[in-house]
Amino acid sequence: MTEEQFSPFFERIERPNPDKAVDFQRHGRLKHLIFGSQLNVPLLEKLCRSADTIRTMARTVDGHRSLRNLLAHKRAMLYFTQPSTRTFLSFMAACQILGITCNEVRDPKTSSEVKRESQTDSVRMFSSYFDVIIMRSQVEKFAEVCAYMMNDLEETEQRSVPIINAGAGSDEHPTQALLDMYTIYRTFRFPQSTAQESSRLSQLKREYPDLVSGPQQKTYLFCGDIARGRTVRSLATVLAQYPGVRMFFVAPDHDALRLDKKLESNLIASGVDIRQFGSLDETVDGQPILAQTDCVYMTRIQREHNSPETETELAALDLEPFRLTKSRVNQLKSFSAILHPFPRDRVVGEIPTEVDQDPRALYFRQARNGMWARAALLVHLFDASEDLIYAHSQSLQSSS
Ligand code: NCD
């Protein structure tokens, strides 16, 4: 991506996010999804409801069939020039659930980029053939630039399609924040299990009197590569909207990894109580930080961003204090959620596989939630939420 491709959009890129968000919505609905703070609380709650509806419908053959008709007239381009397993596959599965036909470009060597076609021209070409472009790139702000390009095309009454940022450099990963929030909503909903039993929440309240349902009034602990983890940036920004949220950031003592000043000041400006630590074993107010945590968000050290000097410096770091071992898991509250955007590093083992059996280890469910949450996002972008509700009611009638 050259400077020349970015330059027409510089002024727009330099604006604060709330100003940009206006360009990425239409009639109160998302037009493009570029950064986490576009996911406000009412929208998240709506998307979580749609995701629940889709997952319920997908349990029956009839429900599956009517989901597949919902967006069968749409085509999606998955333009992923950076490695991906979960984001790519869950978007593809989400498209398949909704009947959207998808195609992919993953290796630019197979596209005309080898003939010196610019990436912006490539994206504009995709918009000629497809109805949505879901894109991951190592270039920060590339998805944002493409969204402006689409808006400019629309201004001149040319073809324009929604852009979904599926990961942009070390900057933002809003759809990961969406599925993380869906997992957090589901976990902290504390549903009633049986009629005889009092609700799980009132049982838990005996041990944790201040506990409330929902993402608010909770302590979130982020551990690992805080500075370069785009998932951390997007999720922390989204969580900052909820009242009473406290965030613990646990990272090795290195500038490349610690919470960066920009995110720190944004979170403080949103009223979040932030604490930073150099180990998972630290305490605050005389109590272990893990014992005060409602949700742990583990991340891997993102070696691919290392410069040769950082590589040498990071190789010398002791990562043991940043591993969520079984004994550390034992310090967590009984209802806590252990999340990880994945992939986890099998050599470092920031979450050892022995933790996988713990009921609080939600990372595999979290990844599956990505499929439902991304399907809900596509339904929203294509303005098919009412159709989804109708299809659900029809499938309920036909099964009764
Ligand atoms: C993350 C990513 O690509 O940013 N993975 C994901 O999308 N689930 C995290 C990572 O690569 O460490």
What angle, 0 to 180 degrees and rounded to 10, lies between the N-to-C axes of helices 86-98 and 363-381?
50
pLDDT at 15 over 70: yes
pLDDT at 60 over 80: yes
- From ligand 1's centre to the CA of 396, what distance in Å? 37
Counting from 1 in the atom list of ligand 1, the atom nearest the Cα of 87 is 7
- Nearest CA owner, ligand 1 atom 8: 341
- From ligand 1's centre to the CA of 400, what distance in Å? 42
Structure tokens at 255: 């500038």
Spell 183-205 as b/e; 16+ CB within 10 A means b. bbbbbbebeeeeeeeeeebeebe
Say how far apart CA 30 and CA 48 lie, in whole Å: 15
Q: Do domains 3-172+369-382 and 174-368 have the same CATH topology?
A: yes
With bands split at pLDDT 50, 70 and 90, how would you rate the model's confidence at 397?
confident
For 347-381, how does the pLDDT look when each residue is reduced to its tens digit (9 = 90+)? 999 999 999 999 999 999 999 999 999 999 999 99
pLDDT for position 134: 98
Say how far apart CA 43 and CA 117 lie, in whole Å: 37
pLDDT at 192 over 70: no
Residues 6+ away with beta carbon under 8 Å from 20: 12, 34, 35, 144
- From ligand 1's centre to the CA of 302, what distance in Å? 9
pLDDT at 139 over 80: yes
Locate the domains of the chain by residue range. 3-172+369-382, 174-368
- From ligand 1's centre to the CA of 266, what distance in Å? 22
Comparing CA positions, the residue from 358, 318, 373, 383 lying closest to residue 87 is: 373
Helix ranges (DSSP H) in the chain? 3-6, 10-13, 17-23, 41-57, 61-70, 86-98, 119-129, 142-155, 174-187, 200-207, 230-239, 261-269, 308-315, 326-329, 363-381, 385-399
- From ligand 1's centre to the CA of 265, what distance in Å? 24
* Cβ–ligand 1 contact at 300 (below 6 Å): yes
Bridge partners of residue 220, in order along the sequence: 247, 295
Structure tokens at 264: 């720190």
pLDDT for position 250: 98
Say how far apart CA 30 and CA 34 lie, in whole Å: 10
Helix (H, G, I), strand (E, B) or coil at 301: coil
Counting from 1 in the atom list of ligand 1, the atom nearest the Cα of 230 is 4
The pick from 135, 137, 173 for probing ligand 1's pocket by mutation, whose C-beta has the most ligand atoms within 8 angstroms, reads 173
Pairing of strands 75-80, 101-105: parallel
Q: In what order do the strands lie in the sheet with 337-339?
A: 273-277, 246-250, 219-223, 295-298, 337-339
With bands split at pLDDT 50, 70 and 90, how would you rate the model's confidence at 94?
very high
* Cβ–ligand 1 contact at 342 (below 6 Å): yes
Helix (H, G, I), strand (E, B) or coil at 48: helix
Helix (H, G, I), strand (E, B) or coil at 294: coil
pLDDT for position 191: 73
pLDDT for position 126: 95
Structure tokens at 327: 């004994």
- From ligand 1's centre to the CA of 342, what distance in Å? 6
For 202-218, how does the pLDDT look when each residue is reduced to its tens digit (9 = 90+)? 999 999 999 999 999 99
- From ligand 1's centre to the CA of 389, what distance in Å? 32
Counting from 1 in the atom list of ligand 1, the atom nearest the Cα of 300 is 12
Q: Is residue 314 classed exposed, middle or buried when 0-12, 13-18 and 19+ CB atoms within 10 A define those classes? A: middle
The answer to whether the beta carbons of residues 383 and 357 sit under 8 Å apart is: no
Please tell me the CATH code under which domain 174-368 is placed.
Answer: 3.40.50.1370
Angle at 44 between CA 41 and CA 50, to 5 degrees: 145
pLDDT at 249 over 60: yes
Cα radius of gyration (the chain): 22
Pairing of strands 283-284, 287-288: antiparallel
* Cβ–ligand 1 contact at 341 (below 6 Å): yes
* Cβ–ligand 1 contact at 167 (below 6 Å): yes
Comparing CA positions, the residue from 179, 215, 189 lying closest to residue 372 is: 179
- From ligand 1's centre to the CA of 139, what distance in Å? 15
- The architecture that CATH gives domain 3-172+369-382 is 3-Layer(aba) Sandwich (3.40)
The answer to whether the beta carbons of residues 135 and 80 sit under 8 Å apart is: yes
Counting from 1 in the atom list of ligand 1, the atom nearest the Cα of 83 is 3
Phi/psi of residue 132, nearest 5 degrees: -155, 145
| Direct distance between the N- and C-terminal alpha carbons of the chain, in angstroms, rounded to an integer | 55
Say how far apart CA 316 and CA 272 lie, in whole Å: 33
